[in-house]
Chains A and B, each alone.
Chain A
Amino acid sequence: MGAGGGSDSEPRISFYGGKRASAVPLAFFIVWAVFQSGVLGIGDTNGLVIGALIGTILGMFLVRGDWKAYADTIFEGMTQRVAATAIVAWLWAGMFAQTLQVGGFVEGLIFAADALNVGAATFPAAAFVLCGLLATGIGTGYGATVAFVTLFFPAGVLIGADPTLLFAAILSGAVFGDNLAPVSDTTIVSAVTQNADIGGVVASRFKYAIVAAVPAFVAYLVMGSLLSGASLEGVAALRDTATPAGLAHLVSMGVVIVTAVAGRHIVEAISWGLVVAVGFNLALGLSSVREILVFTVTEPGPFTALPFVAVGDATGVGGSLYAGAIGFFPLIVLTLLIVSMAQIMIRGGGFDAILEFLLNAVATTVRRAEVTMVLGTAAINGMITINTAAEIAIAPYVARIGEKFNINGYRRANVLDANTSALGYIFPWAGGVLVGYQVMVGPNGLGTKYGPEMVVNPIEVVPYVFHGWFLVIVFLAAAVTGFGREYVPDRPSEEVSRA
Chain B
Amino acid sequence: MSALEKLLAGWSFRSSTPDFEPGEVLEVMVTGREGGEAVARVGDSTLRIEGAPDDAVDARVLVAVETWDASTHRGTGTYRRTVGESAF
Partners in one complex: yes
A483 touches B13 (CB 8 A): yes
Give the contacting residue for A403; candidates B18, B27, B31, B44; CB below 8 A.
Answer: B31
Q: Report the bound CA distance from A399 to B88 in whole Å.
A: 7
Give the contacting residue for A2; candidates B6, B20, B44, B85; CB below 8 A.
Answer: B85
A482 touches B16 (CB 8 A): yes
B42 touches A404 (CB 8 A): no
Asked if B41 CB lies within 8 Å of chain A CBs, one says: yes
Asked if A365 CB lies within 8 Å of chain B CBs, one says: yes
Q: Report the bound CA distance from A365 to B17 in whole Å.
A: 10
Chain B residue at minimal CB-CB distance from A411: B10
A5 touches B86 (CB 8 A): yes
Chain B residues with a Cβ closer than 8 Å to the other chain, count: 34
Q: Give the Cβ gap from B32 to chain A, nearest Cβ, in Å.
A: 8
Supposing A405-B42, A489-B27 touch, asked if A396 and B11 sit within 8 A by C-beta, the answer is no
A1-20 residues at the B interface, CB under 8 angstroms: 1-2, 4-8
A399 touches B86 (CB 8 A): yes
Contacts of B27 in A (CB 8 A): 488-489, 492
A196-231 residues at the B interface, CB under 8 angstroms: 199-200, 203-204, 206-207
- What 0/1 readout, one digit per residue, does chain B (1-45) give for beta carbons within 8 Å of chain A? 101001101111111101010000011110110000000111110
Contacts of A396 in B (CB 8 A): 88
A373-412 residues at the B interface, CB under 8 angstroms: 395-396, 399-400, 403-407, 409-412
Number of A-B residue pairs with CB-CB distance less than 8 Å in the complex they form: 122
Q: Report the bound CA distance from A484 to B11 in whole Å.
A: 6
Contacts of A1 in B (CB 8 A): 87-88
Contacts of A411 in B (CB 8 A): 10
Contacts of B87 in A (CB 8 A): 1-2, 193-195, 399-400, 403, 409, 412
Q: Give the Cβ gap from A353 to chain B, nearest Cβ, in Å.
A: 15
A406 touches B28 (CB 8 A): yes
Asked if B84 CB lies within 8 Å of chain A CBs, one says: yes
Asked if A367 CB lies within 8 Å of chain B CBs, one says: yes
Contacts of A366 in B (CB 8 A): 16, 43-44
Asked if B58 CB lies within 8 Å of chain A CBs, one says: yes
A403 touches B3 (CB 8 A): no
Supposing A195-B87, A204-B9, A261-B7 touch, asked if A406 and B14 sit within 8 A by C-beta, the answer is no
B14 touches A5 (CB 8 A): no
A482 touches B84 (CB 8 A): no
Asked if A487 CB lies within 8 Å of chain B CBs, one says: yes
Give the contacting residue for B57; candidates A7, A485, A490, A492; CB below 8 A.
Answer: A7
A318-363 residues at the B interface, CB under 8 angstroms: 346
A residues adjacent to B (C-beta < 8 A): 1-2, 4-8, 193-195, 199-200, 203-204, 206-207, 258, 261-263, 346, 365-367, 395-396, 399-400, 403-407, 409-412, 481-492, 495
- New A-B pairs, 7, CB < 8 Å, besides A403-B31, A406-B28, A486-B9: A5-B86, A6-B88, A207-B10, A263-B3, A405-B43, A486-B10, A489-B27
B residues adjacent to A (C-beta < 8 A): 1, 3, 6-7, 9-16, 18, 20, 26-29, 31-32, 40-44, 55, 57-58, 60, 84-88
